[in-house]
Structure 1
Amino acid sequence: MLGQMQDWKLTVDKVLEHAHFNHGNREIVTRSVEGPIVRSTYSDMYYRARKCSNALLADGVQKGDRVATLAWNTARHIETWYGTMCIGAVLHTLNPRLFPEQIAWIINHAEDTHVFYDITFQPIVEAIKDKVPSVKHWIVLTDQAHKPQTAMNIRTYEEYIAPHSTDVVWGDFPEDTACGLCYTSGTTGDPKGVLYSHRSNILHTMIGLQKDAIGIGAADTTLPVVPMFHANAWGLAFSGPATGSKLVLPGAKMDGESIYELLDGEKVTFTAAVPTVWLMLLQYLESTGKKLPHLNRVVIGGSAVPERILRAFEENYEVEVVHAWGMTEMSPLGSLGSMTANVLGQDHDTIMKYKLKQGRAPFGVEMKITDDDGKE
C-alpha cells in the first residue's frame, strides 16, 4: 500500500515558483559586472528565467543537453540557472579560475552546447572558442551598450531573451532528471564531473534550511560571496528563493571594501565565503575602524578557518561564525560547526576550540568514521 500525501515531484522549478507566488516583491540586489547596483525582485527573476527557457528551446535545447555558465554571482546568472534547469536541461558551472585549456577540456568532456558568460571573461572565451566544437551559442551576460568588441558571433543576454514569451512548461520530467553539473579538480587525473539531480538539489536545499545548517529565513538578507561556480554557491541560489530571503549578489568585486559596502548598505544579516574573503574584510575593518551592526552570522568553508579570523569576528564584531565542511560531491554541505547545548555550557575558550572544528552532520547527511583497518 502506498501513501497518497505530498505526491509532489522534487524539481527545482518549485523553488522559483514558490518565491514568485509567496515572495514576489522581495528584493534582489546585484552589483553588476558593468558597475552599477541593479535592483530587481523574485517575480522579475521568475519571468525572465521563463523567457530564457524559451530562448533555449528555440535554439533546439532538449532535456539532458548541457548548458554552461562562466559567470559571477548576479541575477542574470541565477536566471540562466533556472531557465536551463526548469526545462530539463543541465546547467554546467565553469570555474574561471582554471587555466583556459582546462576549461576547454571540461567543456568538451561535458559537450556543452551553449556558454553564457560575463564580459570580464571575454579573454578566456577568445582563447578557447576554436577548441570547443560542441559549443554553438555564445551569450554574453550583458546588454547591447556593453557588448564586447569581438569578431565572434555572440549575442547579449538581453537581446537573447527579449523576443520570447514567459509562457513555458517547467518541470515536466521525473525528479531524478539531471539538473546541474560541476567538475571538481580535487581528484587524481583529469577533473571529474559531479552530476546533480533535481531531487538531490531540493533535498540539499532542505538540509541547508535547518537552523543548525545555513538556517536563513524570510526576514534575512543574504549575501552569497561564495561563487556559484564553487559547488553551487553552497546551495544559496536555491535556499534564498526557497525562503524569500532578500538576496545581495556581489558580482566580480570581492575585495574587503566592496564586500563591506554591501554588508552595511544592504543590511546583510547572513553571508558565506571562504577564509581568504573574510581575511580581506577583516583587514579592511581593522584599518578603517568600521563595524558590522547588521551582520548576525557567517558560514566559512572551503578551507580551515584560522583562529584569529574566528575570534576577531566573534569577539570584536559580535558575529556568529559557523565553520563548515563539504565536498562538491555532497552538493556540498557535509558538516557544520553549530554548537550543541552541551558545548554552549562550556567556557568561552572551550567554545572557540569547538568552533575551529568542522562540526557535525545535519539531518540528511550520513557519516561514519573508520580506522585504518576499515572498522567503525
Structure 2
Amino acid sequence: MFNALTMDDYPLTLTAVVERAQLFHDVDVVSRRPDGSLTRTTMAACVQQARRVATALAGLGVAAGDRVATLLWNQVEHLEIYLAVPAMGAVVHTLNPRLHADELAFIVADAGDSVIVVDESLLDVFEGFRHIHRFTHVVVVTHNDDAPQGMWDYRVLAERAEPMSWPVLDERSAAAMCYTSGTTGRPKGVVYSHRALVLHSLAAALPDALGVSARETLLPVVPMFHANAWGLPYASAMIGARLVLPGPLLDPHSILDLLVRERVTMTAGVPTVWMGMLAALDAEPQRWDLTCLDRLIVGGAAVSRALIEGYDQHGLRVIQAWGMTETAPLGTVSRLPVGLDEQGSDAQYEYRIRQGTPVPLVEIRAVDDDGRPIERDDSAMGELEIRGPWVASAYHNGRGSDSFTADGWFRTGDIVRIDEHGCIRICDRAKDLVKSGGEWISSVDLENRLMGHPAVAEAAVIAVPDERWGERPLAAVVIRDGMSVHPDELKQHLSAHYAKWQIPDRFEYLPEIPRTATGKFRKTELRQRFASQTT
C-alpha cells in the first residue's frame, strides 16, 4: 500500500503563533489608555510579557482547561492575555462590559470562569456581578492607582514571575471562548479550539479575505471582547502587522485622530462606528489626512450603498464581511470579482452591498422551509447554513442543539439569496422577515434603501400585526440633525425600487434606534413598543 503518512503531524496550536510573534522586535504595538495617552511596545515584547503573565496565572492556580475571563478594552494587556492564556493550555474568555450585570453574571457562571482580569476603568462594571459568581482571584490592570484590597495588580504579578516555557498542547483543545449576543434568549457559549483559530488566522490574512500583511498598520475598532476582534489580533501576531489598539475612546474624532496619527492602513468595525465617522469627515473633509488608509472592513450588520458611496467620495474603500460568533467569526468577504473591474459603478455597488463569497475552507448552502437546498439563481431565498474548520458544531453545555443539522451544518438564521458564483446577499434574519398577505418582505433591504435618503441617518424595519394582511412593515427612522422629511417623501423614495404592498404603511421618528451591546438594532424592543398598535 502506498504510504501517504510521510508528513510531520505538526500541531496547529496558537503556541506556534506566539512563538512566531516573538520574532517581530521592530513591529509596534500602540495602545491608548482610558485617559487618551498612548503607550508603545513591540510584538516581541508582548510575547515576553505573555510568558511572565502565564507563569503568574499558573501561580494563582490556573491549570489546563481553566477559563480566564477578561473585562478589558482593546489594549496591550488584552493582547498579552490573548497570547498567554491559550499557550499555557488555559482558555481565554472575553466578557462584553456593555452587557447588563445579570447577563454577565449568567455568562461567567455558565462558563465556569476561575480567574478574571479587569481594567481598573471597568471595576464598576465588575462590581455589578462579582457577588453572583465567585472568582478564585481577581487581577486588575491599573493605570494610576494601586489595585483594590483583595485583588492582584497585573503588572506587579508579571514583574515578579519568570517567563514560562510553553507546554505541548493538543490542537483540538480549547483555546478561547465567546458568548453569543443573546438577542433571542440566553447567550450561548462557543468554544474555539487551537486548530480552529490557527486556520482562521491563516484564512483572514489571505489577500482576497481581509488581507493582513506585514506592511499593514491595523486598527481594530471591533472590540477584542466581540468574536475575538474578528481574529485580527491573532492574524497580526502571526503575520507581523503593526497593531494600534484604541482602548475605550471610540467616538469618531478619537478614531480619526488615531487613524491619522499612526498612519493606519486598515481598520475594522461595525457600521454604526463608520456612520458616525463619515458624518465627521463630511463636516470637516480637510481636517483629516487619511491618505494612508487603504480599506475599512465592515461587518456585524448589512452595509448600505449610501455608506459605501459616502466613503468612496473621500477616496476610502469599504469592504463588507459577514460572520457570527459561531464562525469565529469570518465566513464571507465581499471582494469585487475580476469580471466587474471594468463594469460601471452601479454594477459594482450592487455587488459591494452583498455579503460576499465564502473564504477558503468554508462551505455554504441555503435551504427552504422544507429543508431542500435552494437554487443558486440569486432569486430563491432560504436559510443560510455553513460549515468549516472554524465553525461551531455545538454550544457549550449543550444549549441550542437545534441550531445544528444532523449532517453537521450550522443554521445561521439568516435568510439569503445565493448567485451562481456562491456570493450571498442577506435578505433578513429569519425572525425579522415580514410576511404580508403570504408574501415575504425583507426588512434589511428596506432599511438600506431608507438610509440611502439624504435626510435619514438610521432606519430599522419591523413587522407589526395587521388584521387584513397578518403583518405589515413599520419603519423606525432617525433623521439627520437639521433636516426633516415627511413619510410621503420616504414612500416616494422607496417606490422606485419596491411595489406598493412592500412599502411600510407607517413611519415612526425616533431620536435613536435601540441597540444591543454589540451595536446591532434591538428589534425586539421596537416590536414590544409598536406590536400592540395595529395598522
- The alpha carbon displacement at 1:160 in A equals 1.8
Q: Structure 2: give runs of 5+ residues left out of the alignment.
A: 374-535
Aligned position for 2:325: 328
- TM normalised by structure 1 equals 0.95
Distance 1:4 1:327 in 2: 37
Whole-angstrom CA distance in 2 between matches of 1:204 and 1:11: 12
Q: Residue 277 of structure 2: which of 258, 275, 281 is its match?
A: 281
Q: Check whether the contact 1:285–1:291 (CA below 8 A) recurs between aligned residues.
A: no
1:215 to 211, 236, 242: 211
1:256-313 per-residue CA deviation (whole Å, 9 max, x = no partner) reads 1110111111110011000111111111112222342110011100011122211111
**Aligned equivalent of 1:14, options 13, 16, 19:** 16
Taking the aligned partners of 1:33 and 1:76, their CA distance within structure 2 comes to 13
Alignment check: 8 A CA contact 2:30 2:41 kept: yes
Q: Secondary structure at the match of 1:131?
A: coil
Q: Which residue number in structure 2 is paired with residue 153 of structure 1? A: 150
Measured against aligned partners, the alpha-carbon deviations of 1:62-95 in whole angstroms (never above 9, x if no partner) come to: 1000000011101111101211111110100111
Following TM superposition, by how much is the alpha carbon of 1:55 offset from its aligned partner in structure 2, in angstroms? 0.4
Root-mean-square deviation (Å): 1.4
For 1:351, the equivalent position in structure 2 comes to 348
Query: What SS class does the counterpart of residue 365 from structure 2 fall into?
Result: coil
Q: Residue type of the partner of 1:26?
A: V
2:164 matches 1:125: no
Who is 1:94 aligned against? 95
C-alpha deviation, 1:142, in angstroms = 2.2
1:222-233, aligned counterparts within 5 Å? Answer: 222-233=218-229
Closer/same/farther in 2, CA of residues 285 and 247 from structure 1, 3 Å limit: same
The letter for the 2-side match of 1:264 is V
Once the two structures are overlaid, the 10-residue window that deviates more, 59-68 or 344-353, is 344-353
User: Equivalents in 2 of 1:254, 1:364: separation in Å?
Assistant: 33
1:193 aligns with 2:195: no
The normalised TM-score by structure 2 is: 0.67
Is structure 2 residue 355 aligned with structure 1 residue 369?
no
How big is the shift at 1:210? Answer: 1.2
Any conservation in 2 of the 1:26–1:245 contact (CA below 8 Å)?
A: yes
Q: Does 2:138 correspond to 1:142?
A: no
More relative contact order, 1 or 2 (CA 8 Å, 6+ apart): 1
Matched, 1:302 2:304: no
On the 8 A contact 1:33/1:118 being kept in 2, the answer is: no
The question of whether the paired residues in 1 share the 8 Å contact of 2:62 and 2:115 is answered with no
Deviation at 1:172, TM superposition (A): 1.2
Q: Tell me the distance in 2 between the aligned counterparts of 1:156 and 1:224.
A: 26
Residue pair 1:208, 1:214 contacting (<8 A) in 2 also: yes
Rounded to whole Å, the distance in 2 between the matches of 1:240 and 1:171 is: 23
Summarize deviations over 1:3-57 as a string: whole Å, max 9, x none: 3334321111211211212x22211111122431000001110100000100011
**Higher relative helix content:** 1
Amino acid at match of 2:26: N
Larger radius of gyration: 2
**Counterpart code for 1:240:** S
Q: How does 1:14-93 map to 2 (within 5 A)?
A: 14-21=16-23, 23-93=24-94
Give the corresponding residue for 1:252: 248
Q: Deviations over 1:336-362 (max 9, x none)?
A: 101111122321121011101101101
Instruction: Give structure 1 stretches of 5+ with no counterpart.
Output: none
CA distance in 1, matches of 2:327, 2:89: 21
Q: Give the residue type in structure 1 aligned to 2:89.
A: G
Q: Aligned partners of 1:108, 1:160: CA distance in 2, in Å?
A: 25
Match of 2:169 in 1: 173
Could you tell me whether the CA contact under 8 Å between 1:270 and 1:295 is conserved in 2?
Answer: yes
Could you tell me how far apart the structure 2 residues matched to 1:126 and 1:32 are?
21
User: C-alpha displacement at 1:223, in angstroms?
Assistant: 0.4
Q: Distance in 2 between matches of 1:299 and 1:186?
A: 24
- Partner Cα separation in structure 2 for residue 306 and residue 141 of structure 1: 39
Deviation at 1:369, TM superposition (A): 2.0
| C-alpha deviation, 1:186, in angstroms | 4.1
- Rounded to whole Å, the distance in 2 between the matches of 1:92 and 1:111 is 10
Shift of 1:125: 1.3
Aligned length: 369
